[in-house]
Amino acid sequence: MPMMKTALILSALAFSSSKAYTIPQSKRTIDIVGKSRNSVSSSSSWSSSSSAESSSSSYYSGSSSVTDVEVLNYALTLEHLEVAFYTQGLANFSADAFAAAGFAAAVRANYDEILSHEETHITLLQSVLEEMGADVVQACTYDFGSVDVASFIAMSAAFETVGASAYSGASKLLLRRSLLPAASAILSTEARQSTWIQSTVQHLNPWSGAFEVPLTPNQIFTIASNFIVECPSSNPPIAATHAFPPISIPTTAAPGASVQLSFNLNETSSSDLSELSVAFLTSNGTIFEQFSSSDSYNVTFPTQEEGLLGTVFVLIVNSTTEDVTDATTIAGPTPLMFPFNATDPQIEALFPN
């Protein structure tokens, strides 16, 4: 692990009332799976054609339809990542380490239970895929950097929040209604875990607003790819096909602040900043902001009064008149957390009864 990334993890995940934490960015280029989407065939019932299964989703904006098996394997890929994160973290940090960092014994015990939840999610998803006669993705190789207990906790809050957004976004891709109860049950557990970490452990806002922010599989994989080194070449296709270019955001980012972003445009992307905007996906809607000039990536972040609270996903997009989908995403998302105190009178005024 390069020292630069380790330092970024330790500094960028620090909480304050005005600054955000962000998941560290990686310059890795990885293969999501070893097989192309069209290379997999099966005689099992799940792969039989139907009008519903052959329809493509504008939300996904892929070149071909996404099957339920690919969605389930996508979810399983994320669960493998979470299990690896908690397994490594709890192996590194004993009960004494949590106590030395100022956390009660019950905190680590609850993390043991969260790990058990994620392992159970893996068992469920694997069993459903096996009943379908489908190939099942195996765990990848991961790199979470060198972190301390406090950073482990901050990263866990991010993983659980991103997990809720992943299930929220992927649920609409499922074609079989019979799969929705299990997906919803996992989603709600991810959200409960996020709430416990942020409110009980970190003493911050337990939620960001009235809704979770749904993200597409490719947008989610853009975040997850920061921690995935390599996946088995034998893994079958998943609903995500690629990661967008990452966005690096300084830790000075705050509501109302002028911030310089850093990202690389694809060859197919516009190089004219006048055609691009910054999208802030919040719990209560999307906020678009233009770059401050035509020759820099400077942007002024929205204020708290405009809705920049809690978990926010920052993306570069090529349209402000359409929903933020794969078709309009140029770079990102990068998740940020702008913690707030729900009992603060100024915050309460933003949520009138």
**pLDDT one-digit tens code per residue, 220-262:** 999 999 999 999 999 999 999 999 999 999 989 999 999 999 9
CB 141 within 8 A of CB 83: no
Q: Which two tokens stand for residue 260?
A: 């310089």
Q: How far apart are CA 159 and CA 194, in angstroms?
A: 8
Domains and CATH numbers, the chain: 31-36+65-230 (1.20.1260.10), 247-348 (2.60.40)
- The region of weakest confidence among 21-30, 91-100, 283-292 is 21-30
**pLDDT one-digit tens code per residue, 276-285:** 999 999 998 9
**Which residue, among 76, 78, 111, has the nearest Cα to 92 in the 3D structure?**
111
Cis ω before 345 (30° cut-off from 0) = no
**pLDDT one-digit tens code per residue, 146-173:** 789 999 999 999 999 999 999 999 999 9
Given this model, what pLDDT does residue 146 score? 79
Phi-psi region of 26 (alpha: psi -120 to 50; beta: other; left: phi over 0): beta
Given this model, what pLDDT does residue 270 score? 55
Above pLDDT 90, what percent of the chain? 68
